Amino acid sequence: MMKIIRFLDEVGHERIGLLQVDGSAEVVVGDVFGDLKRTGESATISKLLAPIVPTAILAIGLNYRRHAEESGAKIPEFPILFIKSPNTLQNPNDPIQIPSHLKSDEVDYECELAVVIGKTCKNATKENALDFVLGYTCANDVSARDWQIKRGGSQWCRGKCFDTFCPIGPAIVTKDEILNPNSLGIRTILNGVEVQSWNTDDMIFGVPELIEFLSGSTTLFPGTVIITGTPHGVGMGRKPQVWLKPGDVVSIEIDSIGTLTNPVIDEP
């Protein structure tokens, strides 16, 4: 299985590699979106980075049937798009920060399948959409619900765009290893307790449909990351509600991809 990672080696150099079963990396050179060459050189991973720095983060809301039900929302006619800004990117194992300057008391987790676009894509069809995919990784669409719902003026972006609110990783699993992205088990583990557990087959709009929609009259550049919605079980929908707090540890697990783990702290 080819798992592409971005990491710092033992002397602090940023490298691209293939994750090995022993936890080391085989260094690769070249362009992730083009001619990537294996070197056979092994490197120690001193720090894992987000596997890609996205050119854009396109996010889909209310894309699981059960999540729409728990939110009391109608099934949407078209995918609901919002955008997360580049500052939201966070590495595996680095902390999610609870906003304290622009304070939030209702920060939520959302396990999501992330799709990484590998080549320039415009006006894709459902039939050829997956041809434009490099691979898949895990994402956590961290959301400040108070800013998203009560204070955002009907727009979601304020509650979705605080620093560290989009951890992704640990690796990009290339598309040849995942023939159907809409048949994967997906889970959130909060402090060792499973709080979300479902399957990507519950998406209202599957990955091919999302790419077709998002690329309509719109160019998706290589490095675009599409986060595809979350299943039911979010903290906002639980009784009593569950909000992230300093000291928590949250992990996103997706079958065939891996586990993305982040601790939670107050904003420094």
From CA 259, how far away is CA 197, in angstroms rounded?
14
Q: Count CA atoms closer than 13 A to 168's CA, side-chain side.
A: 32
Q: Are the beta carbons of 190 and 242 closer than 8 angstroms?
A: yes
Average pLDDT over the chain reads 96
From CA 19, how far away is CA 123, in angstroms rounded?
33
The mean pLDDT of 260-268, rounded to a whole number, is 98
Give ∠ CA 121-179-25 in degrees, rounded to 5: 85
pTM: 0.96
Q: Supply 156's token pair.
A: 């979601």
Quick one: pLDDT at residue 73? 81
Q: Among the residues of 99-174, which ranges form H helices?
A: 145, 157-160
The mean pLDDT of 4-18, rounded to a whole number, is 96
From CA 186, how far away is CA 198, in angstroms rounded?
6
The yes-or-no verdict on residue 153 having pLDDT over 90 is: no
The yes-or-no verdict on residue 86 having pLDDT over 90 is: yes
Quick one: pLDDT at residue 1? 62
* Per-residue pLDDT reduced to its tens digit, 112-146: 999 999 999 999 999 999 999 999 999 999 999 99
Give ∠ CA 202-55-183 in degrees, rounded to 5: 20
Distances (CA, A) of 141 to 36, 42, 52, 77: 29, 33, 16, 22
* Per-residue pLDDT reduced to its tens digit, 174-228: 999 999 999 999 999 999 999 999 999 999 999 999 999 999 999 999 999 999 9
The yes-or-no verdict on residue 98 having pLDDT over 90 is: yes
